Structure 1
Amino acid sequence: MSETAEGGKPHALLRLRIALPFVLVALIWGSTWYVITGQIDAVPASWSVAYRFALATPAMFAVALLMRRSLRIERAGHVLALLIGLTQFCGNFNFVYRAELHLTSGVVAVMFGMLMVPNALLGRWLLGQQVTARFLLGSAIAIAGIALLLLHEARISPLGGNVVLGVLLAVGGILSASVANVIQANETGRAVPMVSLLAWSMLYGTAFDVAIAWVTAGPPVFPAAPAFWAGTAWLAFAGSVVTFPLYYTIVRQIGAGRAAYNGVLVIVIAMLISTVVEGYQWSLLAAAGAVLGTAGMILALRARQV
């Protein structure tokens, strides 16, 4: 996409009020992929997710009150919040945390760069959004790149067959997040103050998280390590309370297609962090996969209708 949008108007991403939160969200989300790896060592993944949103939920309600947004929403709004809580703040994160038990954080982040594909398909089905031929071509190129990265991961991973399980879990997370991304953009979602919708969604999601954790992992486990709680706080406040309102504001300002450029920057940051702190081993295969994946995503996103 050129520096100017169609009709000669400046590209939305060049406007400071959009560019600054855009970069901030990418920096924070790029870091969260690695932080998650420290949350699943001594604590079952489900409880780690529950702790994250148990901290984030009251903070999001506080943000709504500080912004003087009404927390009273209609029944349809609560139904939507319940669905977003189930898919985004429960299903998505439970799948992601478990996926990182089997794959490096960088690879899971790269896979999530393909969120645009189910978003486009669900958007066309549920919202009537069009999908262009260039978008399909870019998606195909990106999928080829993802396949090379995963092949490299399978060759070097000490977990053997668990790589397949990691991929399946990541796909589950992608599909869950995609459902939430699309349904929040419907008429009901746009009629509710964004921070209020997020607050109720997180509340419902936390309830689901606690229920799943108790059923699958038993009573809660409270680790004594300060590093665990510091990571949980970062994921809750920076990675959830700060980023989700900013990201959904970007989506509403420039559309889901352009906002998805954020995913490309997140991948770059996550892969760099994974290389430095996790010892991610680059090879010609991995480099080719990263180049193809990024190029395909940029091509697809440039073609995505907003």
Structure 2
Amino acid sequence: MNVLLCAGFVLCWSSGFIGARLGAESAGAVTLLMWRFLPLAAVLVVLAATAARASWRGLTPRDVARQAVIGALSQSGYLFTVYWAIQLGVSSGTTALIDGTQPLVAGALAGPLLGQYVARGQWYGLALGVSGVAVVTAADATAGAGPPWWAYAVPFLGMLSLVAATFLEGRSRRAVPPAVSMTVHCATSAVLFTGLALAAGAATPPAAPSFWAAVGWLVVLSTLGGYGLYWLILRRSGVTRVNTLMFLMAPVTAVWGAMMFGEPFGPGTALGLVMGLAAVLLVHRGERVRPRAGRGAVGATPPATAAARTRSRRPRSASPSPTRS
């Protein structure tokens, strides 16, 4: 997998936690998320109706509806919990640390849900990565007074939402072009957050320049860069590879938060960074080992390829299973 592509993904995804902290200083989560997605969705819809019309050919309403559900999980549900947690007082680094447990959850579920099994060496890497997350979390929690205990469960719910979106995409039978999925995801988030903001009376944006700077930061780096690269790497390399990179988000965000906001960064955070890097190397090295039984490790076969292989085994006269829609 291209090193520059992975590095760009880590930086862009980590920027979302920093942007959430920037925006939290001038507006509530719903207001910030509404104005993050509303202008972007308008631009993408116009492009979809003009320059990108060819990307929509052959897609059915069911394909688009599926992408809307994926967008509601991967953007709306995930981002709302991240922003809410940060506004409750959970630091950007700690929020990223809690989200860093995603690879273990995804790796455990990949076998029964996608038929992509985790090799022994990859499990060692996943365990090391979770240990690194625990080390940095402990260091952050003991650095000073924090939010109420239940606030740490909020980003955990968001992590589960993103895992659900990842597997729903992995079980898709049709590969949707990135331009289409990005448009549908952003339009879905724009509708949901605009509705929430109007209902809460929080649709009016603040006049502070810092608010619009945070919006621009989030649109360019987090949405276009982070989510675009996430789905690209997911389709090219599989679930475990893209989710293993999540182990790097917590230490990178912790460094970023320490530089921009003075959040605590000590030996525990540095140790977690080293453990996260080692975890990524272990998992990627484990991908080179192919099981003899013919069941590839997670990430060795992209989800789209695995789905196509499943379909190729079915008789031509058989109708598609509704559970694989």
TM range (shorter): 0.7 to 0.9
Q: How far apart are 1:97 and its partner, in Å?
A: 0.6
Name the structure 1 match of 2:70.
84
Counterpart amino acid of residue 105 in structure 2: P
Name the structure 1 match of 2:33.
49
Pair member with larger Rg: 2
Matched, 1:157 2:141: no
Q: How far apart are 1:94 and its partner, in Å?
A: 0.2
CA distance in 2, matches of 1:62, 1:267: 36
Matched, 1:201 2:185: yes
Name the structure 1 match of 2:97.
110
Q: How far apart are 1:264 and its partner, in Å?
A: 4.6
Matched, 1:36 2:23: no
Name the structure 1 match of 2:82.
96
- 1:17-45 Cα distance to aligned partner (Å, 9 max, x none): xx444333333223332121011233221
Q: 1:177 aligns with which of 158, 162, 174?
A: 162
TM score, norm. by length of structure 1: 0.81
Q: How far apart are 1:297 and its partner, in Å?
A: 4.6
Q: How far apart are 1:179 and its partner, in Å?
A: 1.2
- 1:92-146 Cα distance to aligned partner (Å, 9 max, x none): 0001111222222122223333321222233323222212233333323322322
Does the 8 Å contact 2:244/2:283 carry over to 1?
no
Q: CA RMSD in A?
A: 2.6
Q: Structure 1's 121 and 223: CA in aligned 2 closer, same or farther, altered over 3 A?
A: same
Q: Structure 1's 75 and 122: CA in aligned 2 closer, same or farther, altered over 3 A?
A: farther
Q: How far apart are 1:90 and its partner, in Å?
A: 0.8
TM score, norm. by length of structure 2: 0.77
Q: 1:211 aligns with which of 195, 202, 213?
A: 195
- 1:62-90 Cα distance to aligned partner (Å, 9 max, x none): 55553554336312212212211220121
Q: Structure 1's 297 and 253: CA in aligned 2 closer, same or farther, altered over 3 A?
A: closer
Counterpart amino acid of residue 259 in structure 2: V
CA distance in 2, matches of 1:56, 1:119: 29
Q: Structure 1's 63 and 258: CA in aligned 2 closer, same or farther, altered over 3 A?
A: farther
Name the structure 2 match of 1:132.
119
CA distance in 1, matches of 2:12, 2:278: 23
Q: How far apart are 1:274 and its partner, in Å?
A: 1.2
Q: How far apart are 1:207 and its partner, in Å?
A: 1.7
Unaligned ranges ≥5, structure 1: 1-11, 14-18
Name the structure 2 match of 1:255.
238
Unaligned ranges ≥5, structure 2: 288-297, 300-325
> Which SS does the other structure have where 1:39 is aligned?
helix
Name the structure 2 match of 1:120.
107
Q: 1:272 aligns with which of 255, 262, 271?
A: 255
